[in-house]
Amino acid sequence: MPLLTIEGLDGAGKTTLAAALADALRARGLDVEVLREPGGVAVSERVRELVKDPELRIGARAEALLYAAARAQLVDERVRPALDAGRWVLLDRFVDSSLAYQGEGRELGVEPVAAINAFATDGIEPARTLLLRLDPAAGRARQADRGEAPDRLEREADPFFARIAAAYDALAATHPARVRVLDASQSPDAVLAAALAALADLLPSSPAR
């Protein structure tokens, strides 16, 4: 069964889309497992706490390796077993996040980050990636509206997020069959409709009754 991933800057609405899309897919009779990165299993959730902690100083290479380690554990414990069991897996972030955030945002280079993640995922790739495109300033404004203290990555300066946004656009241009770009400035309902249209060729022809 397919692995579907949702990508984009913080504040783009990935979590909101994941929940709505899972409901829509289940309405079509599909068995869907929703997971997030980093996280989804105990080890990966602990890594999540580390990489988000604003009190910690984590070097760029260590950060990339921590994300890859969390991803490897999630793939081993949840993603591969779910796919093997015939379930659809919907992931809030996957390898493209590391390519954008660590490869370009941290300026480590896309190729070395891709290499460690190919090892981490044991070659698992998404059938379709939904990229929520949003201006970095709009994403930061949405985060501010939440009233939550920014985590370690969210405290980075504007050029960091500009590099990430450009990296996502480059990934979409390089992989047009897999990566479908959605306008994240639209309403949640409009984004969901666009997501379903982008997945139409993978979905059953009609909802289950």
Instruction: Tell me the pLDDT tens digit for each residue of 188-202.
Output: 999 999 999 999 999
Q: Please state, in angstroms and as integers, the Cα–Cα distance from residue 81 to each residue in 14, 58, 65, 88, following that order.
A: 24, 31, 23, 11
Residue 108 lies in a domain: yes
Residue 146: pLDDT above 90? no
Instruction: Please report, for the domain that includes residue 32, its CATH number.
Output: 3.40.50.300
Residue 208 lies in a domain: no
Q: In whole angstroms, give the CA distance from residue 173 to residue 147.
A: 34
Type of residue at 76? D
Choose between 202 and 150: higher pLDDT: 202
Residue 163: pLDDT above 80? yes
Task: Please name the residue that has the structure tokens 């869907």.
Answer: 32
Residue 205: pLDDT above 90? no
Give the bridge partners for 181, in sequence order.
131
Q: In whole angstroms, give the CA distance from residue 47 to residue 41.
A: 10
Q: In whole angstroms, give the CA distance from residue 37 to residue 74.
A: 8
Residue 173 lies in a domain: yes
Tens-digit pLDDT profile for residues 2-42: 999 999 999 999 999 999 999 999 999 999 999 999 999 99
Token pair listed for 133: 């495109």
Tens-digit pLDDT profile for residues 81-113: 999 999 999 999 999 999 999 999 999 999 999
**What is the number of structural domains in the chain?**
1
Residue 88 lies in a domain: yes
Spell out the residues 6+ positions from residue 53 whose beta carbon is closer than 8 angstroms to its own: 151, 152
In the chain, % of residues over pLDDT 70: 98
Q: Kindly indicate the confidence band of residue 209, based on its pLDDT and cuts at 50, 70 and 90.
A: very low
Q: Residue 186: which H helix or E strand, with range?
A: none
Tens-digit pLDDT profile for residues 47-66: 999 999 999 999 999 999 99
Residue 207 lies in a domain: no
Residue 176 lies in a domain: yes
pLDDT at 207: 54
Task: Please name the residue that has the structure tokens 């400035």.
Answer: 185
The pTM (predicted TM-score) of the whole model is 0.94
Residue 209 lies in a domain: no
- What residues make up the domain containing 87? 3-202
Token pair listed for 10: 């913080």
Residue 146 lies in a domain: yes
User: What are the start-end ranges of the H helices in the chain?
Assistant: 14-27, 42-52, 60-74, 80-84, 95-98, 110-121, 136-145, 158-174, 188-198
